[in-house]
Structure 1
Amino acid sequence: MRGFLIFLAVLVALLVGVDLGARFVAQDRVASQLQTQLKLDSEPSVDIHGFPFLTQAAAGEYPSVTLTAEHIPYRQLRDITLVADLGDVTLPPQSLIDGTVRSIPARTVTARAEVDPADLARILKVSDVTVEPVTEQTLAARGSKVSGIDPSQAVELTSTTTVLGQQVRASVIATFRLSGGQIVLSARDIAVDAGDAPSSVSGPVTSALRSRLGNYSARLDPGQLPFSITATDLRAENGKLVVSGTAEDVDLLGGSL
């Protein structure tokens, strides 16, 4: 009995190894074809989800696939991360075997472009910037200057700046919206970040800082979403501004990034 269990364990390990190896080859071939077809500077990451892989490959049907392309430059932005979550992807087994992937149709696609804070800092002409969500408590602490703001449509931008020779951390409440596919940031209030001791910041510095509020308003063009998807949603997530949209019945090799 013990010998049989050892044999069974070895067999399972071998099958898992074969499954993982086949998955890796398939992901690599799809990624290579996408890089060529979509004219990307570097090979994207392709993750085929679900186990076992071989049963999906035999049927040529993949319920869930994620495509990630990083460091994409577009217009005024230099470091966009593009992510596409694909549902019900069809890929004939023979195309993976011989490497001739000519079409990758997906029933559903949710694509998003993530704007790196370094890009945002460069556009705002500050040395650095962090992007944080806004809460009701944050707005209440700011008072009437930010009354009427929807927390889900606002962010807190914090950056280091020099005012009257003194270096301080500026905290800006800005609303955001989509307009013509572009991100529109509208600064509503600016203050010295709570991390700076109030006694260390003079009144003139605070007044001079307030005169810079308009510098934190900007328009950002995140570029075309993957596969010509129209951007319909904008949110702050994990320290980034994220533009996203959905589409149905998309051929990955028939679109462009």
Structure 2
Amino acid sequence: MRGFLITLVVLAVLLVGVDFGARLVAQDRVASQLQTQLKLDEQPSVDIHGFPFLTQAASGDYPSVTLTAEHIPYRQLRDITLVADLGDVRLPPQSLIDGSVRSIPAETVTASAQVDPADLARILKVSDVTVEPVTAQSLAARGSKVAEVDPSQAVELTSTTTVLGQQVRASVIATFRLSGGQIVLSARDIAVDSGDAPSSVSNAASGALRSRLGSFSARVDPGQLPFSITATDLRAEDGKLVVSGTAEDVDLLGGSL
């Protein structure tokens, strides 16, 4: 009996290994075809979810697939990260066997483009930018100028800039929204990270920066999202602005970035 159980365990391990290996081959073939068709500089990451993989491959039906492509230059932006969650993907088994993937149809696609802070810094013409969320408490501490701002639709942009002949760290509260598919950043308040500087110097720098508050506002045009998806949502997440949208009945190899 013990020997029989050991045999079953060994067979199970072998089957899992075969399933895992077949998944890796399929993911690599799909990723390679996507890189070629979409003219990407780097091969994207393709994750086929669900277990076992072989039953999905046999039927050609994949309920959930995630595509991730990094460092994509797109319209005004030079370094976006694209994440697309695909639902109910159809891939004929033969196309994965011989590598002849000609189409990747998905019933649903939710795509998001993550805007790198370096792109924002370039557009705002500052040396660097960090993007942080704000809270009702942090807004209240900034005073009446941002009292009416919705924390869920605002971020704190911190950057290095020159004021009164000195390099200072400026903290800007900016609201964000989508307008005509574009990201609209509107600076609402600015302050100087004084560090060890006397308060008189900090106040003078803040006053000088307020006249330049508008320069921290911008319209960022990410264009239409890949796969002909219209942007419908904008949020701040993990230090980036993320614009996203959904579409139905999309062939991932039917278009280009």
**C-alpha distance in 2, partners of 1:201/1:245?**
47
1:196 aligned partner: 195
2:146 aligned partner: 146
1:24 aligned partner: 24
**C-alpha distance in 2, partners of 1:11/1:38?**
40
Aligned ranges 1:9-158 → 2 under 5 Å: 9-158=9-158
Deviation at 1:212, TM superposition (A): 2.3
In the alignment, is residue 186 of structure 1 matched against residue 186 of structure 2? Answer: yes
Asked whether the 8 Å contact 2:49–2:64 carries over to 1, the reply is yes
**C-alpha distance in 1, partners of 2:249/2:75?**
28
1:254 aligned partner: 254
Deviation at 1:197, TM superposition (A): 4.6
- Tell me, which stretches of 5 or more residues in structure 2 are unaligned? none
2:210 aligned partner: 210
Asked whether the 8 Å contact 1:168–1:196 carries over to 2, the reply is no
**C-alpha distance in 2, partners of 1:33/1:256?**
12
**C-alpha distance in 1, partners of 2:226/2:5?**
49
Asked whether the 8 Å contact 2:190–2:206 carries over to 1, the reply is no
**C-alpha distance in 2, partners of 1:145/1:196?**
23
SS in structure 2 of the partner of residue 130 of structure 1: strand
In the alignment, is residue 166 of structure 1 matched against residue 157 of structure 2? Answer: no
SS in structure 1 of the partner of residue 137 of structure 2: helix
SS in structure 2 of the partner of residue 174 of structure 1: strand
Deviation at 1:23, TM superposition (A): 0.3
Q: For 1:174-204, what per-residue CA distance to the aligned partner results, in whole angstroms no more than 9, with x for missing partners?
A: 11111221111110100123x7356366132
**C-alpha distance in 2, partners of 1:98/1:209?**
62
**C-alpha distance in 2, partners of 1:41/1:206?**
43
Kindly tell me the number of residue pairs found equivalent between the two proteins.
256
Asked whether the 8 Å contact 1:117–1:129 carries over to 2, the reply is yes
What fraction of aligned residue pairs are identical, expressed as a percent? Answer: 86
**C-alpha distance in 2, partners of 1:227/1:185?**
25
Asked whether the 8 Å contact 1:227–1:250 carries over to 2, the reply is yes
**C-alpha distance in 1, partners of 2:199/2:128?**
21
Deviation at 1:148, TM superposition (A): 2.1
**C-alpha distance in 2, partners of 1:196/1:171?**
12
Decide whether aligned partners of structure 1 residues 84 and 125 sit closer, same or farther in structure 2, where only a CA change above 3 A counts: same
TM-score by structure 1 length? 0.94
Asked whether the 8 Å contact 2:81–2:115 carries over to 1, the reply is yes
SS in structure 1 of the partner of residue 253 of structure 2: helix
- Tell me, which stretches of 5 or more residues in structure 1 are unaligned? none
Deviation at 1:8, TM superposition (A): 2.2
Deviation at 1:80, TM superposition (A): 0.8
Asked whether the 8 Å contact 2:192–2:205 carries over to 1, the reply is no
**C-alpha distance in 1, partners of 2:243/2:7?**
51
Deviation at 1:147, TM superposition (A): 2.9
Give the superposed CA RMSD. 1.6
Matched residue type, 1:217: S
Deviation at 1:209, TM superposition (A): 2.2
**C-alpha distance in 1, partners of 2:225/2:96?**
27
Asked whether the 8 Å contact 1:84–1:226 carries over to 2, the reply is no
**C-alpha distance in 1, partners of 2:78/2:179?**
20
SS in structure 2 of the partner of residue 254 of structure 1: coil
Q: Which moved more, 1:206-215 or 1:181-190?
A: 206-215
SS in structure 1 of the partner of residue 198 of structure 2: helix
